[in-house]
Structure 1
Amino acid sequence: MLSVVCVTPGTLRAEDRPTPIPAEGEVLLRVRRVGVCGTDLHIFAGRQPYLDYPRVMGHELSGTVAEAPRGSRLAAGDVVYVMPYLSCGHCVACRAGRTNCCTHLQVLGVHRDGAFTEYLCVPEPFVHRAEGVTLDQAAMVEFLAIGAHAVRRAQVSAGQRVLVVGAGPIGMGAIIFSRLRGATVTALDSRTDRLAFCAQRLGTASCVTLGAGDTEQLAALSSNEFFDVVFDATGHAAAMERGFGFVAHGGTYVLISVVQSDIRFNDPEFHKRETTLLGSRNATSEDFETVLRAMREGLIPAGLDTHRMALADVPACFPGLLDPDAGVVKAIVEC
């Protein structure tokens, strides 16, 4: 079978590998669609903190069941999506229902080989029927679930002012689900094309371009009070540190991003505002269901999948996804 391997940062190689044989309790999937995530771009660029090379990337996937275990709730031919966060089920986090931050977490495409391949074995508990959605939609559930999880963590409510810093796919997920909860959303980003997309497709109330005068614009948009909830989805330490200043008194700051560095903030300002600081990692089955329900109800804006490529073309075409001029929101790999 064809697999695409990130051998070292910046190097992708197509390989012919044996089709895997499922172990007991595993489902053999025929991979059909894979979304390209910011994590994949960071792996390619050598900026992913939890990874060893070589690695088959890809954790946003949909497919069909090729082989299911005896007595499984799944059957050959079922269209499925995958929860790529393989949790242990018995650690302190899992016992509390926080499987997204399992102490032994294995993420497909990061800690173990992922979906840039034709066939993949996945433990059955993490494979679910994709009822009522298309293969393309099923491959986009995961990144939207990350946004949905962050919004749920922050307990966003109707009438709140929300700022999303970083208008990539994860930030867009936070925008979508904040708006579905009735919040008024502002987006801050350096890329005017991304901001235009957020305004035209996602219904943000305001968009601010990163740069001189942006703090003053954000103050004006919030009656000089700033924002009840701020989400950082930039993946940049300096931006994450700066975001503390955009949180209103009594507000909440959610770090969806993860970076390989320490994050600092001014303690007197933090306490003066009684800021609530939250980390938001991955998503749970509840968040996946939230996304699927929104998709079935037609609440997810169309056009998020802006680019496509075949699996065989990934080594040649993947580097182009890093070019801002390409205008990529979400690229889908067809297997």
Structure 2
Amino acid sequence: MLSVICESPGVLRAQQRDVPVRGNGEVLLRVSRVGICGTDLHIFTGNQPYLKYPRVMGHELSAVVVEAERDSGLAAGDGVYVMPYLSCGHCIACRQGKTNCCVNIEVLGVHRDGALTEYLSVPAQFVHKAEGVTLDQAAMLEFLAIGAHAVRRADVLVGQRVLVVGAGPIGMAAMIFAKLRGAAVTCLDTRADRLAFCQSQLGVDAAVAVGTDDTEQLASLTGGEFFDAVFDATGNIDAMNRGFGFVAHGGKYTLISIVPGQVTFSDPEFHKRETTLLASRNATAADFETVLEAMRAGRIPDQALNTHRMQLAEVPDAFARLLEPGQTVVKALVEC
């Protein structure tokens, strides 16, 4: 089978490997679609803190079942999606239902080889039927679920003012689900094309470009009170630190981003606002169900989000182009 391996930062190779043998309790899958996300781009550029090379990337996937055990509830030919966070089921986090932050977590494409390959064998408990959605849509569930999880973590309410900093796919996912909860959503980003997309395709209420007067613009939009909920999806430490200043008194600040480094803030400012600071990592089965329900109801602009496509064999040569701002990539899907 064809697999694409990231041997080291900036180096992708196509390689022929043996089709995996299905283990006990596993499902053998024929990979259909793989979404490329910021994690994959960080792996390619050498900025992913949890990874060792070489690695087959890819954790946003849909597939078709080739072989499964009879008691798995799956059968050959079923279209499925995979929850790529392989949790242990017995640690302190898993016992609380917080499988997204399992102590012993293994994420496909990060801690173990992922989906940029033709066949994959994974434990059956992480494979779910993609009922009522296409295989294209199923491959976009994971990044949308991350946004849904962050919005759920912040408990966004109807009528609240929400700011999402960083208009990449994860930030867009947070915008979508904040809007679905009835919030007034503002996005802040450096790229005019991303801001325009968020207004035209996601229906955000306001879009502000990073610049010398952005704080004044954000203050003007909120009567000087700033935002009930702020989400950072930039992956930039300076932006993460700066975001504390955009939180209203009594508000919440949710960090979806992860960077190697120290987040710092002014304690007097943090204290007088009684700010709630939250981390948001991955997603749970409930978040995937939230996305599925919205997709089935036609409330996710998935076709607009899928801006680029390529074949698996094209990935080694075409992948680097996804980093070019002129490509205006939102979500690229690889057809396997």
Q: What's the TM-score once normalised by structure 1's chain length?
A: 1.00
Shift of 1:70: 3.3
- Kindly report which structure 2 residues correspond to 1:299-310, keeping only aligned pairs within 5 A, or say none: 299-301=299-301, 302-310=303-311
Whole-Å Cα distance in 2 between the matches of residues 277 and 237 of structure 1? 15
- Unmatched runs of 5 consecutive residues or more in structure 2: none
Alignment deviations for residues 73-114 of structure 1 (CA, whole Å, 9 cap, x no partner)? 000000000000000000000000000000000000000000
Residue 188 in 1 paired to residue 188 in 2?
yes
Alignment deviations for residues 129-164 of structure 1 (CA, whole Å, 9 cap, x no partner)? 000000000000000000000000000000000000
Shift of 1:223: 0.4
Alignment deviations for residues 205-237 of structure 1 (CA, whole Å, 9 cap, x no partner)? 000001110000000001000000000000000
Whole-Å Cα distance in 1 between the matches of residues 116 and 161 of structure 2? 39
Residue 78 in 1 paired to residue 60 in 2?
no
1:105 corresponding residue in structure 2:
105
Shift of 1:69: 1.6
Q: Secondary structure in 2 aligned to 1:76?
A: coil
Shift of 1:328: 0.1
Structure 1 runs (4+) deviating above 2 angstroms are none
1:45 corresponding residue in structure 2:
45
Aligned residue identity for 1:304: L
1:265 corresponding residue in structure 2:
265
**Root-mean-square deviation over aligned CA pairs:** 0.4
Q: Secondary structure in 2 aligned to 1:71?
A: helix
Aligned residue identity for 1:42: H
Whole-Å Cα distance in 1 between the matches of residues 26 and 218 of structure 2? 50
2:31 corresponding residue in structure 1:
31
2:139 corresponding residue in structure 1:
139
Aligned length: 335
Whole-Å Cα distance in 2 between the matches of residues 310 and 19 of structure 1? 19
Q: Secondary structure in 2 aligned to 1:77?
A: coil
2:209 corresponding residue in structure 1:
209
Identity of aligned residues (%): 71
Aligned residue identity for 1:138: A
2:231 corresponding residue in structure 1:
231
- Kindly report which structure 2 residues correspond to 1:152-171, keeping only aligned pairs within 5 A, or say none: 152-171=152-171
Q: What's the TM-score once normalised by structure 2's chain length?
A: 0.99
- Unmatched runs of 5 consecutive residues or more in structure 1: none
Residue 331 in 1 paired to residue 332 in 2?
yes
